[in-house]
Structure 1
Amino acid sequence: MISRKVGMISLGCPKNQVDGEALLAKLKKAGYEIVNNIEDSDVMIVNTCGFIEQAKKEAIDTILEVAEYKNAGLISAIVVTGCLAERYQDEIIKEMPEVDAVLGIGANSDIVKACDKALCGIVTTSFPNKCYLSINDERIISTPSHWAYLKIAEGCDNRCSYCAIPGIRGGFRSRTIESCVDEAMALAEGGVKELILIAQDTTKYGQDLYGKYSLDILLKELVKIDGIEWIRLFYCYPQRITDSLINVIANEKKVCSYIDIPLQHSDKTVLKNMNRVGDGDDYRALISKMRKAIPDLALRTTFMVGFPGETDEQFENLCKFTEDVKFDKMGCFTFSPEEDTPAYDMQNQIDDDVKVRRQEVLMNKQYSITEELNKQRIGRIYKVIIDTFDGENYVGRSYMDSPEIDSGIIFTCDNKLNIGDFVNVEITDYNGYDLIGEAIL
């Protein structure tokens, strides 16, 4: 009998990770044994990202590293899934003959057949319509048992000029409220205490099904679930943050006073060229409204520097915007010209060294802002969920910190605590981005 052990390396964003969890659930149901190490696998799945150049390079390097195990006879087959597979399709087989199967986004339901054929030496490629990607599948949760992602929609209609995602993932489509609630209840029954809501644009949730933005309605249903203590919002498009959503965040205790709003830039001309709506003044007004309504709101954003035509003055205005607003969390990436996007052929492309310098300048400014904010947090007490223990210190997060992306709180406690527990921690110091404290029992 052929051994059927399967492992997975999942790259890129949480949305892709959720897809990978669904793939593993299908394989387990079909009798495959899920393993954690490449050397223990018969089939290795590389669930790829293909969003920007750096992600593509990581995906290709990972496939080639896994191929070394196959060439050495340690594994039998390699299956490539995810965004790189959808975007580059047959090129992967041509360029990397060690790969046995390439499945596009819409072919995830064929994962069992593809792995079966791969173990028999049969090469498979499949790229059906993206709409066949299910967003209601069972999953094997790959995050720690106390928190999980909940993907509430798939695809994107925004058509930002730099972004390949609509072409890779297809148009926006929401899950029903009932479907989201059912999955959240199952996660809670499995021990999940923190839900992180994700989609390409969470604030557009429900418009296609219910004729209006319905994230606020969904949240009001999710907070009713026993066992769920925190609900966190990612990928919120600024022009779709409604007064009703703000009120829900402000008034529902289970909804963290935390929101991720990838603004991309603050200059009106740059944003217009990005095919995004609004400008720095609009964003200032929105943030002011939110901070007034939601005490101690933690704001996360992402900016892009080096977009074609970005002048020194426009970059300096972005820096000033960042210094004025003082985001709690901020990430910055450089513009990556992606084929099949309008920005790929735009004039006045920025040199790579200028992009990197601007990125460093902006992140240095954010580091100074973080230090300033962290100083103000000394002496405060936060409710913290525990993620790890190294034998001496616990590491956890407050409502201000999302797992795997944001910083955390390092603290000590004389009593033994469990991973996933909540505990109050008094902040005594900080170290870079991280806060340091002592548990209060």
Structure 2
Amino acid sequence: MSTVIGFISLGCPKNRVDTETMLGCLEGAGYTLTGDLAEAEIIVINTCGFITAAKEESIEAILEAARYKKTGRCRYLLVAGCLPQRYGRELLQEMPEIDGVMGTGAVPEIIAALDRMQADERVLAVHDPGYIDHAPAPRKLTTPGHTAYLKIAEGCDNCCSYCAIPAIRGPYRSRPMDVVLAEAQDLCARGVRELVVVAQETTRYGLDLYGRYALRELLQGLVALEDCRWIRLMYCYPTSFTDDLIELIASAEKICPYIDLPLQHINNRILKMMNRRGNKEVIVNLITKLRRSVPGLVLRTTFIAGFPGETEEEFAELLDFMERVKFERAGVFGFSPEEGTPAAALPGRLDEETIAARVDKAMRLQQGISLAYNRQQVGREVQVLVEGWDDEAKMYWGRTRADAPEIDGRVFFTSYDDVRAGDFVQVKILAAAEYDLSGVRTK
């Protein structure tokens, strides 16, 4: 009988792709996978270590999983991903419950790590985070079968002062275009209809491999896939956009008019302290060009409030920018000092109460913007990708081209007959809330 493995995956979509790759390797090697941790003989946790809250969540997940050594069938506990990449040796020293750690650069070594653990070796598989898929890797999807994340690159060269990603994930490394397209074709052959394109900086794709920005060329290859219906772009850096990329987004029906554009701030002094490329003028000009060029564009962004030394005037400038641009989707996060980053040593650290108040004020502003945008959708018919049935609402639910999986709102709707997850239907919007819409299926 094969060994039974349970998996916990934390963190961002890029981390989830690593999880799916490891699951594919395990299944291919004959391991049995289970969603019931009480039945697992080995538990693997793919952790996040990006910010303090994520590290705390990862530690709690490790401790919770370790309890199955007493209450379940678990004999070995392997901790993988970002947290071991930063603190692998410390984890082994301070948490005897852990039988092995594996960093972000060791994803292909999952089978070898488990073999070593089962030979009663305490595994430390943490080295330079240089791993990148140069061949289509086996993946067992953990998303609904109609949607998949497509990771086109790994690592980051930006070295923003608040961010530990370059230390965790290494320098920017594009995956070869033929490899990405082969994986996308395989995913679509398996029933995926929405490809969510991800990287630490999606718009930088190809610069390291081909000496030029090549995202447009890659997207053209994805558009040509017959079974692909939606292509969604996440994590686009504002200074890496090219005019021909914008033209393609505007003209290709399969590319959702949705751009995730993490900006972090708008004040030039704060942007410089963050070590962000570009400035307010560059950002405003890009947004103006995008709004003018792409019909029905939906913009998502993220901001950091309470960066060290941020004055009331600089925070007010951020609020004014949000009010003027009216991002359809936005998240605001409080500054978190990350060990080993330049921002953690900056003077002028704001107290937690001030940071929380600024986050709350910005998010209340965004809620009003989001509600106003959603109310504009009332009376319109929109295409919805069905996700399933909601028992509490007693309605089906799904997402529009304006909604990314897991982070954006939902469309709840009634239907005159049954629909299935993965179906595309037309829904007339009848009501709007801050984040969600509701309506009735028309066809």
**TM-score scaled by structure 1?**
0.98
* 1:174-218 superposed Cα distances (whole Å, 9 cap, x missing partner): 011111110000000000000000000000000111111111110
- 1:9 corresponds in structure 2 to 8
- 2:97 corresponds in structure 1 to 98
- 1:183 corresponds in structure 2 to 183
Q: Of 379, 397, 401, which residue of structure 2 is paired with 1:395?
A: 397
The count of residues paired between Structure 1 and Structure 2 equals: 440
> Does the 8 Å CA contact 2:23/2:140 hold for their aligned counterparts?
yes
Report the alpha carbon displacement of residue 135 of structure 1 after superposing the two structures with TM.
5.8
Map 1:246-265 → 2, pairs under 5 A: 246-265=246-265
Return 117-126 or 40-49, whichever deviates more: 117-126
Structure 2 CA distance, aligned partners of 1:11 and 1:72?
A: 23
- 2:74 corresponds in structure 1 to 75
User: Can you give the 5+ residue segments of structure 1 that lack an aligned partner in the other structure?
Assistant: none
User: Can you give the 5+ residue segments of structure 2 that lack an aligned partner in the other structure?
Assistant: none
Structure 1 CA distance, aligned partners of 2:133 and 2:78?
A: 19
- 2:172 corresponds in structure 1 to 172
**Percent of pairs identical after alignment?**
46
> Does the 8 Å CA contact 2:11/2:54 hold for their aligned counterparts?
yes
- 1:407 corresponds in structure 2 to 409
* 1:20-41 superposed Cα distances (whole Å, 9 cap, x missing partner): 1111111111111011111111
Structure 2 CA distance, aligned partners of 1:43 and 1:266?
A: 47
Structure 2 CA distance, aligned partners of 1:7 and 1:226?
A: 35
Map 1:148-297 → 2, pairs under 5 A: 148-297=148-297
- 2:356 corresponds in structure 1 to 356
> Does the 8 Å CA contact 1:135/1:154 hold for their aligned counterparts?
no
- 1:28 corresponds in structure 2 to 27
> Does the 8 Å CA contact 1:173/1:208 hold for their aligned counterparts?
yes
Q: Which amino acid aligns with 1:235?
A: Y
Structure 2 CA distance, aligned partners of 1:73 and 1:122?
A: 22
Structure 2 CA distance, aligned partners of 1:384 and 1:128?
A: 44
| DSSP-derived class of the 1:419 partner | coil
Tell me if 1:372 matches 2:372. yes
- 1:326 corresponds in structure 2 to 326
| DSSP-derived class of the 2:130 partner | helix
> Does the 8 Å CA contact 2:368/2:434 hold for their aligned counterparts?
no
> Does the 8 Å CA contact 2:414/2:440 hold for their aligned counterparts?
yes
> Does the 8 Å CA contact 1:337/1:343 hold for their aligned counterparts?
yes
Q: Which amino acid aligns with 1:117?
A: R
* 1:321-356 superposed Cα distances (whole Å, 9 cap, x missing partner): 001000010011111111111111111111111111
> Does the 8 Å CA contact 1:236/1:261 hold for their aligned counterparts?
yes
Structure 1 CA distance, aligned partners of 2:169 and 2:70?
A: 32
Structure 2 CA distance, aligned partners of 1:37 and 1:133?
A: 30
> Does the 8 Å CA contact 2:14/2:198 hold for their aligned counterparts?
yes
> Does the 8 Å CA contact 1:109/1:133 hold for their aligned counterparts?
no
> Does the 8 Å CA contact 2:257/2:401 hold for their aligned counterparts?
yes
Q: Which amino acid aligns with 2:372?
A: E
Report the alpha carbon displacement of residue 133 of structure 1 after superposing the two structures with TM.
4.5
Tell me if 1:300 matches 2:300. yes
> Does the 8 Å CA contact 1:135/1:153 hold for their aligned counterparts?
no
Tell me if 1:89 matches 2:91. no
Structure 2 CA distance, aligned partners of 1:189 and 1:405?
A: 26
> Does the 8 Å CA contact 2:116/2:122 hold for their aligned counterparts?
yes
Structure 1 CA distance, aligned partners of 2:332 and 2:441?
A: 33
Aligned CA distance change for structure 1 residues 38 and 236 (closer, same or farther; 3 Å): same
Structure 2 CA distance, aligned partners of 1:299 and 1:161?
A: 25
Structure 2 CA distance, aligned partners of 1:410 and 1:248?
A: 31
Structure 2 CA distance, aligned partners of 1:132 and 1:187?
A: 21
> Does the 8 Å CA contact 1:280/1:321 hold for their aligned counterparts?
no
Q: Which amino acid aligns with 2:131?
A: Y
Report the alpha carbon displacement of residue 431 of structure 1 after superposing the two structures with TM.
2.5
- 1:418 corresponds in structure 2 to 420
Structure 1 CA distance, aligned partners of 2:312 and 2:23?
A: 47
Tell me if 1:439 matches 2:441. yes
* 1:103-145 superposed Cα distances (whole Å, 9 cap, x missing partner): 1122222211222332343211112222134364221111000
| DSSP-derived class of the 2:77 partner | strand
| DSSP-derived class of the 2:259 partner | strand
Structure 2 CA distance, aligned partners of 1:291 and 1:326?
A: 11
* 1:346-397 superposed Cα distances (whole Å, 9 cap, x missing partner): 1111111111110000000000001111111111111110011136311111
> Does the 8 Å CA contact 1:102/1:125 hold for their aligned counterparts?
yes
Q: Which amino acid aligns with 2:27?
A: K
Structure 1 CA distance, aligned partners of 2:308 and 2:398?
A: 40
> Does the 8 Å CA contact 1:162/1:344 hold for their aligned counterparts?
yes
> Does the 8 Å CA contact 1:155/1:172 hold for their aligned counterparts?
yes
- 1:130 corresponds in structure 2 to 129
Report the alpha carbon displacement of residue 58 of structure 1 after superposing the two structures with TM.
0.3
| DSSP-derived class of the 2:67 partner | helix
